[in-house]
Amino acid sequence: MQFHFFQVNRLVSIILKEDRAGNRKYKYFKDKDELSWKTPLHLVAELNYTTVAQTILCHYPGQLYITTNPHTGNKNRRYIPLELALIKYNDEVSALLIEHMKPERYVAHVAGVNKSGLGDPFSLPISVPPVYACCTMA
C-alpha cells in the first residue's frame, strides 16, 4: 500500500512541477465533469492521501480555500477540502490542512460554520499552527 501512495505522489509531483514551469492550469483546476467541481486537493482530502496533499500544498497552497460547487447532492453547500476530510473522518489529512491554513482564515471559517448552525466554534481547541517549511521550489 505504501508503494501505491509513493507512485501517486510522484506522479502528482511531476505534473505540478511541469505546471509551475508552464501555464499553471492546475492552480485553480476544478473537475467540472462532476457536479461538485472538486480540486485535486478536495479529492486527496477525501481519500486521506496526506503525502499527496502535502505535495499539492507545496505547489498551490491557495487550494486550501477553494470551495466546491453547491448542488442538491451536497446539500447545496460549498465545501473547502478540510470539510470533506473531516466529513470522512480523515484525521491525518485534516491535521495537515489545518496546519497549513492561516489562523485567521481557520477561525473565520469555523465561525461561518457556526452561523449555519453546525456547532460552537468556541468549543473547539484552536491554536496557532506551527510554520513548516513545505518544500523547496527550485
Q: What is the CATH number of the domain that holds 70?
A: 1.25.40
Q: Residue 43 domain-assigned?
A: yes
Is residue 128 assigned to a domain? no
Is 135 inside a domain boundary? no
Domain with 27, as residue range(s), is 2-123
Q: Which tens digit of pLDDT belongs to each residue from 64-123?
A: 999 998 887 778 888 999 999 999 999 999 999 999 998 877 666 666 654 544 444 434
Q: How many domains does the chain contain in total?
A: 1
Secondary structure class of 108 (helix, strand, coil): helix
The 3 state secondary structure assigned to 20-69 is: HHCCCCCCCCCCCCCCCCCCHHHHHHHHCCHHHHHHHHHHCHHHHHCCCC
State yes or no: pLDDT of 52 exceeds 60: yes
What pLDDT is stored for residue 132 in this prediction?
Answer: 45
CA distance 42 to 83: 9
133 within some domain: no
